Amino acid sequence: MAISTGQVSVGTTPTKLFTSGPAPISRALVYSSVAAFIGGSAVTSTTGLPIPATTLVEVPLTGAEDDAVYAVVGSGTATVSYFFVA
């Protein structure tokens, strides 16, 4: 098992945060400097899962397949951090 962490600068177009990887990954922790939204490659501020500013959010992942997680903000930029063990 390996620990994966990172920080990504996110703007108003979908930006890849990480690829979840195969099982046994089951959750990721995501934190954003300003309100952001996460989802698939077509995520928008309307369709994404909200990540409130400066709030650590636990995101469940199945680990059944390799899926990329993307983030976007409504305006400006954010630094989005993530952590998971795979």
- Is pLDDT of 86 > 80? no
Q: Where are the beta strands (DSSP E) in 11-73?
A: 15-19, 27-32, 36-39, 49-51, 57-60, 68-72
- 51: domain CATH number is 2.60.120.770
Angstrom CA distances, 79 to 2, 27, 29, 49, 76, stand at: 23, 20, 14, 16, 11
Please give the structure tokens belonging to residue 16.
Answer: 């890849």
Are residues 42 and 76 in contact, defined by beta-carbon separation less than 8 angstroms? Answer: no
Q: Which pLDDT value is given to residue 46?
A: 97
Which whole number is the average pLDDT over 51-65? 85
* Residue 86 · residue 1 · CB < 8 Å: yes
The structural domain count of the chain equals 1
> pTM, whole model, 2 decimals?
0.89
Which pLDDT does position 3 carry in this prediction?
84
Cα–Cα distances (Å) from 82 to 69, 73, 75, in that order, read 10, 16, 21
Which residues form the domain of 19? 3-85
